[in-house]
Amino acid sequence: MCPLRRGGRSSRFRPDGTACGSIRSKAAPSPNQGSTMLSWEKIDAIPGWFMFQSYCVWRALLDQQARITGDLFEIGVWRGRSASVLASYRKGGEKLYLCDLRLDEEAVHRAIRSVDAEPVNIVPLSGPSADLPAKLDLQAMHQTVRWFHIDGEHTGTAVYRELELANRIVNNDGIVVIDDFFSPRYPANTTEVIRHLEKNPFHFRLLAVGFNKGYLCRPESLPRYMDFMASGMSRTLATYGAKTTIFKTTGPWDTDAVGITDFVDDAGPIAGPDNEPQRWHMIRTRHVWGPVRHLQNGWRMLRGR
């Protein structure tokens, strides 16, 4: 289901961000025109609970999807606070699917226009998320979504069901965002995500946890996103005003995810395990063939075998 709960957190806290000392391994993709008009002040004027630090994390990850095509999907819209961020990053013919138990389309359109984006190519879905498989053409939507935000009913049943839907429609470069991850108010949001990951290890992997949200990606794209976490995420967050520390305390043999917190002086902008804070254990591609093996494979290809 899709109703966003009414009580919640203050959205007014904004840390005094300064540049962090990480270095990008490559230039960041150019943002689309809509996102260049976006600012936290515009988002903060829209009613809702989407916090400043999450706004910065979203922008950093959505910037990384600048050259990726795919629709955007949100379950739990309320007045369109986080949906307005997605609308600003919608490109070309991409669609923005918005599901809420009682979707207020007028309020959402007004919110999107307030951030200098246009409410076009929006697919309104008013009603519980349990009805989505009956409303959507899931065969046509197979792996067409690049961003899927789960912020609806906040029950274990709904979260698990919504992850099953995400698995059907999120593409190989897509990201799934879970609201209230590790929140003591909604423990089922965490337990059912972990249950789904353990039962379906080839659907999604946990990429990051930070500021009340969990971020999942496809196993195939985990190395690429993790490289960005190590080489560009901290500086990108700083450019949007969030001074953070990114922790990675384990490696690919374990829960290969990072934690993002407000800046910790003793740790700096990026830190590894407690016993090796200067080092991250990463998935890396390495060359394993020698010259002879290359020649053998070339000869095999020429012979059509």
Mean pLDDT of 122-150: 98
Nearest to 57 by CA among 178, 145, 189, 203: 178
User: Is the residue at 262 inside a domain?
Assistant: yes
Q: What angle do CA 150, 211, 71 make, to 5 degrees?
A: 35
User: Is the residue at 11 inside a domain?
Assistant: no
The yes-or-no verdict on residue 205 having pLDDT over 60 is yes
pLDDT at 297: 87
**Chain centroid to CA 19:** 22
User: Is the residue at 15 inside a domain?
Assistant: no
> Which domain does 54 fall in, by range?
33-302
β-sheet with 170-179: strand ranges across:
122-126, 96-100, 71-75, 145-150, 170-179, 213-217, 205-210, 258-262, 244-247, 270-271
How many domains in the chain? 1
Task: Round to whole Å and give the CA distance between 17 and 53.
Answer: 10
Mean pLDDT of 91-117: 98
The yes-or-no verdict on residue 155 having pLDDT over 50 is yes
| SS3 annotation, 77-110 | CCCCHHHHHHHHHCCCCCCEEEEECCCCHHHHHH
User: Is the residue at 13 inside a domain?
Assistant: no
User: Is the residue at 9 inside a domain?
Assistant: no
User: Is the residue at 19 inside a domain?
Assistant: no
User: Residue 244 sits in a domain of what CATH number?
Assistant: 3.40.50.150
pTM of the full predicted structure? 0.86
pLDDT tens readout for residues 226-257: 999 999 999 999 999 999 999 999 988 888 89
Task: Round to whole Å and give the CA distance between 279 and 244.
Answer: 18
Mean pLDDT of 169-192: 98
User: Is the residue at 5 inside a domain?
Assistant: no
- Higher-pLDDT residue of 305 and 135 is 135
